[in-house]
A and B are shown apart, each in its own frame.
Chain A
Amino acid sequence: MASIVQFENVGLRYGSGDETLSDISFSLNTGAFYFLTGPSGAGKTSLLKLLYLAQRATRGTVRIFGEDAGALPRTRLPGFRRRIGVVFQDFRLVPHLSAYDNIALPLRVAGVSESDIEAPVREMLAWVGLTDRGRAKPPTLSGGEQQRIAIARAVIGRPELLVADEPTGNVDPDMAERLLHLFDSLNRLGTTVVVATHDFHLLNRIPNAHMMRLEKGRLNDPTGALRNPPRGAA
Chain B
Amino acid sequence: MKLSLNPNAPDRRLLDESRRTRAMTWIMAIMVFLTVLAGALGLGMFAATAQLDRQLAGRLTIQIVEPDAAVRDSQVKALRTALPRVAGVTRVAEVDRERLAELLKPWLGDTGLDPDLPMPAMIDVETRGGNGAVVEQTARAIAPGARIDRHAQWLSPVRGFMTTMSWLAVGLMLLIASATAAVVLLAARSGLDTHRDTIDVLHMLGSTDVQIARLFQRRIAFDTLLGGLLGTVAALGLVWFLQSRMALVGSEMLSGVALQQRDWFLLLLVPLGFALLATFAARRTVLRALGRTL
User: Could you tell me which A residues sit within 8 Å of B by CB distance?
Assistant: 52-56, 74-75, 77-82, 86, 88, 92-97, 101, 104-106, 108-111, 114, 153
Whether B244 is near chain A, meaning CB under 8 Å from some CB there, is: no
Taken together as a complex, chains A and B put the C-alpha atoms of A46 and B17 apart, in Å, by 33
B18-A96 in contact (CB<8A): yes
Determine which residue in A80, A81, A108, A111 has the highest number of CB atoms from chain B within 10 A of its CB, and name it: A108
Residue interface mask B182-201, A partner, CB < 8 A = 1: 00000000000000011011
Given the interface pairs A92-B201, A94-B198, the reply to whether A111 lies near B14 with Cβ below 8 Å is no
List of A residues within 8 angstroms of B202 by Cβ: 105, 109
B203-A81 in contact (CB<8A): yes
Given the interface pairs A108-B1, A111-B1, the reply to whether A96 lies near B205 with Cβ below 8 Å is no
Instruction: List the one stretch of B139-147, B171-179, B206-214 in contact with chain A.
Output: B206-214
Total A-B Cβ pairs within 8 A: 64
Taken together as a complex, chains A and B put the C-alpha atoms of A82 and B202 apart, in Å, by 11
Whether B2 is near chain A, meaning CB under 8 Å from some CB there, is: yes
B206-A54 in contact (CB<8A): no
Residue interface mask B97-109, A partner, CB < 8 A = 1: 0000000000000
List of A residues within 8 angstroms of B18 by Cβ: 96
User: Could you tell me which B residues sit within 8 Å of A by CB distance?
Assistant: 1-2, 10-11, 13-14, 16-18, 197-198, 200-209, 211, 291, 294
A7 to chain B, nearest CB (A): 18
B11-A108 in contact (CB<8A): yes
Q: A75-B208, A77-B294, A96-B198 are in contact. List 5 more A-B contacts (CB 8 A).
A: A81-B206, A82-B205, A106-B205, A108-B1, A109-B207
Given the interface pairs A92-B201, A92-B204, the reply to whether A109 lies near B16 with Cβ below 8 Å is no
Taken together as a complex, chains A and B put the C-alpha atoms of A92 and B2 apart, in Å, by 24
Taken together as a complex, chains A and B put the C-alpha atoms of A52 and B197 apart, in Å, by 17
A86 to chain B, nearest CB (A): 6
Closest 4 CB pairs of A and B: A82-B206, A81-B206, A96-B16, A78-B206
Chain A residue at minimal CB-CB distance from B207: A109
Given the interface pairs A79-B206, A108-B10, the reply to whether A94 lies near B201 with Cβ below 8 Å is yes
Taken together as a complex, chains A and B put the C-alpha atoms of A92 and B197 apart, in Å, by 8
A78-B207 in contact (CB<8A): yes
Given the interface pairs A108-B1, A111-B1, A111-B2, the reply to whether A97 lies near B203 with Cβ below 8 Å is no
B196 to chain A, nearest CB (A): 12
List of B residues within 8 angstroms of A94 by Cβ: 14, 197-198, 201
List of B residues within 8 angstroms of A97 by Cβ: 13-14
Query: By DSSP majority rule, is chain B's interface helix, strand, loop, or mixed?
Result: helix
Name the contact of A109 in the complex, choosing from B200, B206, B209 (C-beta under 8 A).
B206
A92-B13 in contact (CB<8A): no
List of B residues within 8 angstroms of A54 by Cβ: 204, 294
List of B residues within 8 angstroms of A77 by Cβ: 294
Taken together as a complex, chains A and B put the C-alpha atoms of A109 and B203 apart, in Å, by 9
Chain B residue at minimal CB-CB distance from A79: B206
Name the contact of B206 in the complex, choosing from A55, A88, A106 (C-beta under 8 A).
A106
Taken together as a complex, chains A and B put the C-alpha atoms of A3 and B141 apart, in Å, by 100
A97 to chain B, nearest CB (A): 6
List of B residues within 8 angstroms of A52 by Cβ: 204
Chain A residue at minimal CB-CB distance from B16: A96
Given the interface pairs A94-B198, A109-B1, the reply to whether A101 lies near B205 with Cβ below 8 Å is no
Given the interface pairs A97-B13, A97-B14, A109-B1, the reply to whether A78 lies near B198 with Cβ below 8 Å is no
A139 to chain B, nearest CB (A): 12
Chain B residue at minimal CB-CB distance from A97: B13
Name the contact of A86 in the complex, choosing from B198, B204, B208 (C-beta under 8 A).
B204
A-B residue pairs in contact (CB < 8 Å), sample of 9: A52-B204, A56-B294, A78-B208, A81-B203, A94-B197, A94-B198, A95-B16, A105-B202, A108-B1
A101-B203 in contact (CB<8A): no
List of B residues within 8 angstroms of A56 by Cβ: 294
Taken together as a complex, chains A and B put the C-alpha atoms of A93 and B207 apart, in Å, by 15
Chain A residue at minimal CB-CB distance from B208: A78
Chain A residue at minimal CB-CB distance from B201: A92
A102 to chain B, nearest CB (A): 9
List of A residues within 8 angstroms of B197 by Cβ: 92, 94
List of B residues within 8 angstroms of A105 by Cβ: 201-202, 205
A109-B205 in contact (CB<8A): yes
Taken together as a complex, chains A and B put the C-alpha atoms of A233 and B17 apart, in Å, by 50
List of B residues within 8 angstroms of A153 by Cβ: 205
Taken together as a complex, chains A and B put the C-alpha atoms of A28 and B201 apart, in Å, by 25
